[in-house]
Chains A and B, each alone.
Chain A
Amino acid sequence: MSEVLVVVEATTEFGVKKVTLEMLTLARELGTPSAVVLGGAGAAEALSGKLGEYGAEKIYAAEGDEIDGYLVAPKATVLAELVRRVQPAAVLLASAQEGKEIAARLAVKLDNGILTDVVGLAADGTATQIAFAGSTIVKSKVTRGLPLVTVRPNSVTPAPAAASPTIEQLTVSVADSDKLAKVVERVAEQKGSRPELTEAGVVVSGGRGVGNADNFKLVEELADLLGGAVGASRAAVDSGFYPHQFQVGQTGKTVSPQLYVALGISGAIQHRAGMQTSKTIVAVNKDGEAPIFELADFGVVGDLFKIVPQAAEEIRKRK
Chain B
Amino acid sequence: MNIVVLVKQVPDSGADRNLRSDDNTVDRGSANNVINEMDEYAIEEALKIKEAHGGEVTILTMGPDRATESIRKALSMGPDKAVHVLDDALHGSCAVATSRVLAAALGQLNADLVICGAESTDGRVQVMPHMIAERLGVAALTGARKLTVDGATLTVERQTEEGYEVITAATPAVVSVWDTINEPRYPSFKGIMAAKKKPVQTLSLADLGVAPDEVGLDGATSAVVEHSKRPPRSGGAKITDEGEGGVKLVEFLATEKFV
Residues of A within 8 A of B (CB): 11-13, 71-73, 76, 96-97, 100-101, 103-105, 107-109, 111-117, 126, 130-145, 177, 180-191, 196, 202, 225-226, 244-245, 250-251, 254, 258-259, 269-270, 273, 276, 280-282, 284, 288, 293-303, 306-315, 318-319
Contact = CB atoms under 8 A, between A and B. Distances in A.
Given A71-B167, A72-B130, A96 B240 contact: no
A184 B167 contact: yes
Contacts of A142: 221-222
Most A C-beta atoms less than 10 A away, residue of B228, B244, B253? B253
A311 B247 contact: yes
A184 B154 CA distance: 12
B224 A259 contact: no
Contacts of A130: 230
Given A116-B127, A136-B227, A269 B13 contact: yes
**Which secondary structure characterizes the binding site on chain A?**
mixed
B18 interface: yes
Interface of B: 13-14, 16-19, 37-38, 94-96, 99, 121-131, 133-135, 137-143, 145, 155, 159-170, 173, 178-180, 220-230, 232-241, 244-250, 252-254, 256, 258-259
Contact of A314 (B123, B129, B247): B247
Most B C-beta atoms less than 10 A away, residue of A180, A225, A226, A250? A180
Given A107-B96, A180-B139, A202 B258 contact: yes
B228 A294 contact: no
19 contacts: A12-B162, A71-B142, A72-B140, A73-B140, A100-B126, A107-B127, A107-B131, A109-B134, A113-B222, A132-B122, A136-B19, A137-B229, A182-B168, A183-B165, A187-B164, A191-B162, A226-B259, A300-B238, A318-B250
A301 B221 contact: no
Contacts of B179: 251
Contacts of B94: 113
B36 to A, nearest CB: 11
Given A186-B163, A187-B164, A282-B252, A108 B134 contact: yes
Contacts of B137: 177
Contact of B140 (A71, A250, A298): A71
A186 B163 CA distance: 8
A13 B167 CA distance: 21
Given A71-B141, A244-B178, A297-B237, 5 more contacts: A12-B162, A108-B134, A181-B167, A288-B238, A314-B247
Contacts of A226: 253, 258-259
Contacts of A117: 124-125
B158 to A, nearest CB: 8
A135 B230 contact: yes
Contacts of A185: 165-166
Contacts of B161: 11, 96, 196, 245
Contacts of B253: 226, 259, 282, 315
A300 B249 contact: yes
B258 A259 contact: yes
Which 4 A/B pairs are nearest by Cβ-Cβ distance? A310-B246, A302-B241, A113-B221, A104-B127
A281 B249 contact: no
Given A101-B127, A137-B227, A141-B222, A294 B233 contact: yes
Given A140-B225, A181-B167, A288 B240 contact: yes
A302 B254 contact: no
